[in-house]
Structure 1
Amino acid sequence: MVVNKEKYDYLIVGAGLFGSVFAHEAKKRGKTSLVIDKREHIGGNVYTENVDEINVHKYGAHIFHTNNKEIWDYVNSFVEFNRYTNSPVANYNGEIYNLPFNMNTFNKLWGVITPGEAKEKIALQKKNAGIENPKNLEEQAISLVGTDIYEKLIKGYTEKQWGRPATELPDFIIKRLPVRFTYDNNYFNDKYQGIPVGGYTKIIEKMLEGIEVELEVDFFEQREFYEEKAEKIVFTGMIDEFYNFQFGELEYRSLTFNSEKLNIPNYQGNAVVNYTDRETPYTRIIEHKHFEFGNQEATIITREYPSEWSKGQEPYYPINDDKNSLLYKKYKALADVEKNVVFGGRLATYKYYDMHQVIAAALTQVEKEFKNNV
């Protein structure tokens, strides 16, 4: 295919999952794309960096999981996935509990053996709390798992993560909390799960083969120049920034990652350990080698510190409360009437996505974009 470097069919702002899937599918349909990203690497937040034979998840743990066979087959068409199963553990002041909340958790906490006993314990605690119609995250969590689990394994972690008291957080944040009455430490219920062999960056590299990519480019610093480079724009950045924050700034939570190499073969015995007490400043420690069953002599760990977001920081989690949802609707109304701009991904749609959801959304957008294209 001859690439017209003067004018492309698409300018894709962001080399993460959404932008890379779109660029790959556009290329399959004979379209040209220029992909730009302000970071020094492709992959967005799923980027993995090989450090001393260990694939380090630079922006937090990413475990691929889905019930959608088409999406699973799609990602496996780029790389092979291993059999990693997400089974995090919680550390509450030195006490270790299995996650998600299951019979192993209930047995250690209460000494119960059967699902019936565990359900009775939770029902009693819910009754004693007097919660009938949960109005916030705290009440929703107690209604799901009782007061003991809430106090030890949810409250501190959640308040660190969101920087707000649990009583001020909406109940929907916790509604998808996995609770199961089996001795099963698999966090996800999805049929398909794993980590790409060799890291996520390999997937993005495969998607972007034969496509022009420019890194360390800030779209907003050279907006006029890049807007002239293509017929249409696929924008995966912050939607409020695209519209120059004219209605105000959408709010996010941010993260800081502190990584270190340790000259020991095994630091914590698990890929992910959550620290659920309020006093520990970080929410979790990731030991990257365990995602791929590594046997290296050394190990690399990363501590995650949540923080308020401000300009210049990376936005990770949208704060989908009433105030921000109303603000986003104003920006979406502008986006909906754009004829030459496609908005996609978590920042452009102000929505938290798992990886399989990002890919599904990108493929749906591709079908919509090219439905009349033979």
Structure 2
Amino acid sequence: MTYHPKSDFIAVMMERGFLADCTDYQGLDDALLQGARPGYIGFDATAKSLHVGSLIQIMMLRWLQKTGHKPITLMGGGTTKVGDPSFRADERPLLTPAQIDNNIAGIKKVFSAYVDYNDSPTGALMINNAEWLDDLNYLDFLRDIGRHFSVNRMLAFESVKSRLDREQSLSFLEFNYMILQAYDFLELNRRYGCILQMGGSDQWGNIVNGIDLTRRVLDHEIFGLTSPLLTTSDGKKMGKSLSGAVWLNPDMLSPYEFWQFWRNTTDADVGRFLKLYTELPVDECDRLGALAGAEINESKIRLANEVTALLHGAEAASAAEATAREVFEKGGIGDDLPTLTLSADDLPVSVIQLIVKSGLAKSGKEAKRLIAENGAKIDDAPLTESGLMIDAAALSSPIKLSAGKKRHALVQLDG
């Protein structure tokens, strides 16, 4: 695409790789030149933390604020009760209002590391769509809003079509989700003057619905912008690691493990991830990403430090790097390593179970394969015996377990 943006925000989105598509480049560009304009992204509260897969959206909100505009973090307190069916094979499990409120409280902690909530023209807002969805009158909503939606058109959206093509059930509850998300955009425009909705490219249909609805009901011009759905260079979905989701809340994933996730980035992804997940100048990102051999490892450490410092603070990033260098270079035991604490009642325990419980393998089968392929170590010595039992005597001091060269965990006895 050869569009040359005039606004700082779109320029950043384009040069750093955030932009997949936009409903009207020229219109949005012109609107962003008219002062601080509000834009939003919605986040459903399906867990008490977001994971790395959401970080591209959070960084978009951060850049929106840094370029002079007003980010809105919309929490789906209402829509989480329905569940987004987009590109899912099955219906989401339904959560209680108390579970949803608890999840929102956990998620709030992450956002304040990236955007500044204050009363200024560019101060971020956190809004819960339960504000307007919880008290909707069904008949009024059908008459005033439902009449603007064509079922034929809704069935043609790829997110719905792909589910129906696989002959998987799509409940009426889930089918309503796209109407509710469209209504969110309408209400945010009416209440807060919000002109922009952003999201992953899988949200394109939902975003376009909201734009059409707002034009029909309020006759207001609003815009949509999507980011690419990120996969790593080896085709894996961004945000997944061997031990599961890479959570953003420190009580669900330690800053050290978060740092390690970025340190383990594939060589081919370093430059791209530096542009998306750090604020280093683009030229510097390109330079670091183009390094090879041992030098690319220093680029990965820079990536890990920058991303961890944004979320957890500079001290946590420095501590993680120090622990990693101690573990990798000196073979020592760092203070920040993920730690599994056992009680005497847990013993004896097989080394297979320890590998699984410490998160170094997902299953006993995977742990056995790790040992068979000489990928496991215990206190830096090759672990060759999969039937090894660990008793209290063996745990008189902490044990270090390793999977390959980069992933480690401590096992210690309580008290």
Q: TM-score range by the shorter chain?
A: under 0.3
Normalized per residue, which structure has more strand?
Answer: 1
Normalized per residue, which structure has more helix?
Answer: 2
Provide TM-score, normalisation by structure 1.
Answer: 0.22
Provide TM-score, normalisation by structure 2.
Answer: 0.21
Structure whose CA Rg is larger: 2
Name which structure has the greater RCO, CA cutoff 8 Å, separation 6+: 1
